[in-house]
Structure 1
Amino acid sequence: MNRLKKFFLNLKFRHKIILTYFLVSIIPITILGLFCYEQTRYLLLNQEKENLKKSFSESVAEIENSANVYNNLANYTTFNPMVLEVVNYDYKSYYEMYYKFHNMLDPYIDMLKALHNEVQQLTIYTTNNIVKHSDYIIPMDNIKDTGWYQEVSGKYQPHWFVSDKKDIFLAVQFINKNYNNIQNILYVKINSESFFKSLYNISSSNCGVYVLDKNGEVIFENKNYDGENDYFLPSTELNKGKKDSVTYNNRNYVLIKSDINNLGWTVYLYKPINLIVESSKNIIYTVYLIVGICFLLILVVGYWLSYIIVNRIERLTKNMKEMDMEHLDVTVKSDSEDEIGILINSFHRLIVKIKTLIQEVYKSEIARRKYEMKALQAQINPHFLYNSLSLINWKAIRSGEDEISEMAQLLSTFYRTSLNKGSSVISVENELNNTEAYIKIQVMMHNYNFDVNFDIDDKVKEYYTINLLLQPLVENAILHGIDEKRNNRGMLRISAKQIEKDIIFEVEDNGVGMEPEMCEKILTTKTKGYGVKNVYDRIKLTYGENCDLKFISILNEKTVAIMRIPIEKDKNKFNE
């Protein structure tokens, strides 16, 4: 459960909405679909049961009617005076017998068979002293050993029987009150296929039919199913189920029972329930189709609604991810008054406030640096310094100390350009002069043990920049590059050139170099004095994103400091 909860919480908000919307919608639709399916199945099952009962009742009624017709035929024959005279007459000769048979009995039986096509045989068995005549009259001795004779003898109501060959016949004994010594039995054999025609018809629609006699013996059965499946239900299972259903081999059947009272038979109709339900496939498929369309609409509408709801949140999230101290721009806007609109507008106001505070901090930092610079400059009395250096230069010339004189002149040049009359804006030409003076002092202090190469484009000298940008880079190259070199002669290269609207300064030394990690760290590490980080912070405060300072170094080979600043001809734009 916890893992499922964690999975849900880690989903994107859009997916949460879609999943929630889908679950909330699918549950009632699924319940509704199942309810429709069950109701449809229930109604169709009941409707099919009613239809089967109606058809079955009509079929059984048709058999009962047929049985009544043949019972009436039997009764009519056994009471017919002409038939009674023929079978009970005391014949004196064969001619007399032939005459009555041919002219009286034969036409009558032929007429009955013509009127009732289902009658296959109509025979009168008699104890009268007459000879066999076709199958119309046969001596009684031929049937006295049969089981049905014992059941019919002495009874004057028609009895129905089914032979071992499933032949259907009825038999009834004549009432011979005036012929006490003669016994006659009428035998009527009926075509079973015609007799059970109605049951054949009903069993042709994926049903099975049984007809059982009073002893429970099967006298008729028929089944007909589409396809290869065998849905046969043994007759022994008919009375094992409920009143109207039975289960066999894990298959449920509808069971309908009806009695044919005048025959003593019981008729059963059974049909597998799954075949009844199959007739509702089209309706069920339609329900499935509607449910599927509902699911599709739910997904489309859910995705559309989630897009409307979440799109602004996603754009706000993306904007927040892309935002840092250098990119404080809100790209998402909203004029809605819902919670998301309030969130976006509140975020916009917050960023505006942050940008305002940052600008104030930047301005205060710039001001602080300016004040620090002015304080540093104020500590040095320019007139006192320049007069002192001029006196040292004059004394050195009188003493013949040319090197001391040059050092004093270089110091005077360096501090004059550094102090820059209290201004932080300086021409590129003076910045280069300041740097050159500093380098010559360092060369003299290092006993001329490294060489210097200047590669200056004269076009850049006419532009303005903030002061003291190159000197810290040169100082870093000498102290951490050339001074730590143990072999070969040191080399320092100073380059300044214009590329499009930028000035590119390069300070290169052939010192010990540094690791790539240090090239990044040197711009963010605070050092004592007026170092590289100070230069990086000042150009960022002054030029923003339009400048850059980076280091490229090869260990034990060289280090190059590359500074890019935009060109500027008007020194008043620096807002001193």
Structure 2
Amino acid sequence: MNRLKRFFLNLKFRYKIILTYFLVSIIPIIILGLFCYQQTKNLLLDQERENLRKSFSEAVIGIENSANVYSNILDYTTFNPMILEVINHEYKSYYEMYYKFHNMLDPYIDMLRALHNDIQQITVYTSNNIVKHSDYIMPMEVIENNIWYKEVLGKYKPQWFIDSEKNVFLAVQFINKGYNDIQNILYVKINSKNFFQPLYNISSTNCGIYVVDKNDEVVFENRSYDDGKDYLLPSTELKKIDGDTITYDNINYILIKIDMKDLGWTAYLYKPVHLIVESSKNIIYTVFFIMGICVLIILVVGYWLSYIIVNRIEKLTKNMKEMNMDHLEVTIESNSEDEIGVLINSFDKLIVRIKTLIQEVYKSEISKRKYEMKALQAQINPHFLYNSLSLINWKAIRSGEDEISEMAQLLSTFYRTSLNKGSSIITVENELNNTEAYVKIQSMMHNYNFDVDFDIDNKIKGYYMINLLLQPLVENAICHGIDQKRNNRGKLRISAQQKGTDIVFEIEDNGVGMKSEICERILTTRTKGYGVKNVYDRIKLTYGENCDLRFISIPNEKTVAIMSIPVEIDKNKFND
């Protein structure tokens, strides 16, 4: 949440206005669009569910009517005296048996099959002692091991079944009172495709249909989808039904259930919801198209309004960013009297006042720094100093004190390059000589307890720079770095290289280092002597934004001072 808040606060004011306007406008549009879509979807689902229920119910009623016809045929046949006479008669000869079969049974069964083309087989299974006759008469022992035989036995109402090959048939036991308890069962096999044809017609409209018996065995199953995919809902999932919807494999289905009471079966119709919703694509596309137009209008109007409101603020911000100490100009005007107009006009007056103060304060500060530097150089009488050091050197040579002689020569070199005949401009070579003399003096004073490594690019020695920039940085490295070290030998590296249009100086020591917060504070903290901050102020006054001084330090390992100044080959370009 904080990150989102920070992101919003850091946005440009123009984008804040556009985003706010967009959110305030688009949220109601999205809510309205989603509401319309949901209402349309629910309406289509209700309408499609009702249409499917009506069509499915008509198909089921058609099948039940056909089933009633066949049940009536069985009832009529089982009570037909002629049929009862044929199957229960006690025959004296095969000729008598053949005569009754040929003249009484065969014509009757042929008539039924002729009137009802869907009947594929009519068979009477009997325990009477008669021979098999085509598939019209068969002995009872043929079916005694079948499961359906046990379910039919003792029941005198037609029972519906389906065999292992999905063939539909029905069977009923004859009422044989007065016929010496002979058992007879009438079996009628129906053309299942024609019988379930109404369900085939329904299932061809992007849906699936199951018909299951009382034992949950599938009697009929068919499905068809226009998109070529198979949205199969296993029959085992039907037991999990709770209401008129079901979800399987992340697909939602609407479900219609109808009980076929006369048959003892249950019919199920299922259809994926998304196939129903697809029919509303045109409506949905229209809603989204209108929403898109609204969003586009909102963005255009929002951008136009934000431009009118923010344009002057952006110009003022840009004008403020472009300003520096040498370019204080107001490039924006406003005649409006609103808050932004007042801000612009007040800013103009402020800049005029600042420019006046700059002329008085900033220029005087530069002069003050230059006079301070000249005063520092004037504190020492160069001729007196050089003569004194020369005398010390001569006396040391005569006395054989080589170290004192070297010290006097180094002091002479150091002060000669430091004073630089009263000029603040010096060659890089002389600045390096000054630094080298200072380092050697410090080495002698420290009893040579640290090593010095110079890495100098010779081609930069002829360039010009302001003097006394390196010595304070080296002094800082020795006093606050190497002197504070308690173990290992001190090391000091002084590097001067040209990189592009800059000269980059690096003073590195292996002293105690310092924390990052001290590195950030060292350039803003003034010390008693001629320290690091003075160096930073001088290069900024001289070179402006084209220079840099920074510190990189690792505690207990090292500190590196990195100073970069522009290459300058013309001494006269410096304004003394």
- Bucket of the pairwise TM-score, normalised by the shorter protein: 0.5 to 0.7
Q: CA deviation at 1:253?
A: 3.5
| Local SS of the residue matching 1:53 | helix
User: What is residue 510 of structure 2 aligned with on the other side?
Assistant: none
Q: CA deviation at 1:183?
A: 3.7
Distance 1:80 1:232 in 2: 46
Distance 1:126 1:559 in 2: 133
Q: CA deviation at 1:354?
A: 9.8
Rate the CA distance shift 1:250–1:353 in 2: closer, same or farther, 3 A: closer
Rate the CA distance shift 1:80–1:239 in 2: closer, same or farther, 3 A: same
Q: CA deviation at 1:61?
A: 1.9
Deviations 1:167-211 (A, max 9, x none): 221112233445445443221101122222223333333433332
1:330, 1:351 within 8 Å by CA — same for their partners in 2?
A: no
The number of aligned residues is 382
| Local SS of the residue matching 2:75 | helix
User: What is residue 344 of structure 1 aligned with on the other side?
Assistant: 341
2:171, 2:187 within 8 Å by CA — same for their partners in 1?
A: yes
1:123, 1:187 within 8 Å by CA — same for their partners in 2?
A: yes
Rate the CA distance shift 1:327–1:62 in 2: closer, same or farther, 3 A: same
Distance 1:188 1:3 in 2: 78
Rate the CA distance shift 1:353–1:262 in 2: closer, same or farther, 3 A: closer
| Matched letter for residue 270 of structure 1 | Y
| Matched letter for residue 221 of structure 2 | E
| Local SS of the residue matching 2:110 | helix
User: What is residue 549 of structure 2 aligned with on the other side?
Assistant: none
Q: CA deviation at 1:141?
A: 3.8
**Deviating more after overlay: 82-91 vs 112-121:** 82-91
Rate the CA distance shift 1:195–1:330 in 2: closer, same or farther, 3 A: same
User: What is residue 262 of structure 1 aligned with on the other side?
Assistant: 262
1:319, 1:332 within 8 Å by CA — same for their partners in 2?
A: no
Distance 2:235 2:297 in 1: 52
| Matched letter for residue 102 of structure 1 | H
Rate the CA distance shift 1:18–1:129 in 2: closer, same or farther, 3 A: same
Distance 1:33 1:197 in 2: 43
Distance 2:3 2:212 in 1: 65
Rate the CA distance shift 1:262–1:309 in 2: closer, same or farther, 3 A: same
Q: So what's the TM-score if we normalise by structure 2?
A: 0.55
Percent identical:
67
Rate the CA distance shift 1:57–1:327 in 2: closer, same or farther, 3 A: same
Distance 1:232 1:247 in 2: 12
User: What is residue 20 of structure 2 aligned with on the other side?
Assistant: 20
User: What is residue 146 of structure 1 aligned with on the other side?
Assistant: 146
1:514, 1:554 within 8 Å by CA — same for their partners in 2?
A: no
1:62, 1:198 within 8 Å by CA — same for their partners in 2?
A: yes
Distance 2:347 2:160 in 1: 105
| Local SS of the residue matching 2:240 | coil
Matches within 5 A, 1:541-560: 554-555=570-571
Distance 1:183 1:279 in 2: 58
| Local SS of the residue matching 1:134 | coil
| Matched letter for residue 34 of structure 1 | L
| Local SS of the residue matching 2:239 | coil
Q: CA deviation at 1:277?
A: 3.9
User: Do residues 198 (structure 1) and 198 (structure 2) align?
Assistant: yes
Q: Which of these two proteins has the greater Rg computed from alpha carbons?
A: 1
2:334, 2:344 within 8 Å by CA — same for their partners in 1?
A: no
Distance 2:192 2:343 in 1: 95
Rate the CA distance shift 1:111–1:558 in 2: closer, same or farther, 3 A: closer
User: What is residue 47 of structure 1 aligned with on the other side?
Assistant: 47
Rate the CA distance shift 1:332–1:3 in 2: closer, same or farther, 3 A: same
Gapped runs of 5+ residues in structure 2? 361-421, 424-463, 467-536, 543-568
User: What is residue 302 of structure 1 aligned with on the other side?
Assistant: 302
Gapped runs of 5+ residues in structure 1? 366-482, 485-512, 523-552, 561-576
Distance 2:172 2:61 in 1: 23
Distance 1:350 1:294 in 2: 40
Distance 2:574 2:247 in 1: 95
* CA RMSD of superposed structures (Å): 4.5
Deviations 1:93-140 (A, max 9, x none): 545544443344333322221222211101223344443322222333
Deviations 1:216-241 (A, max 9, x none): 23333333345575543333332134
Rate the CA distance shift 1:328–1:55 in 2: closer, same or farther, 3 A: same
Distance 2:103 2:52 in 1: 49
| Local SS of the residue matching 1:72 | helix
Distance 1:137 1:326 in 2: 120
Distance 1:66 1:558 in 2: 115
Matches within 5 A, 1:190-229: 190-225=190-225
| Local SS of the residue matching 1:239 | helix
| Local SS of the residue matching 2:219 | strand
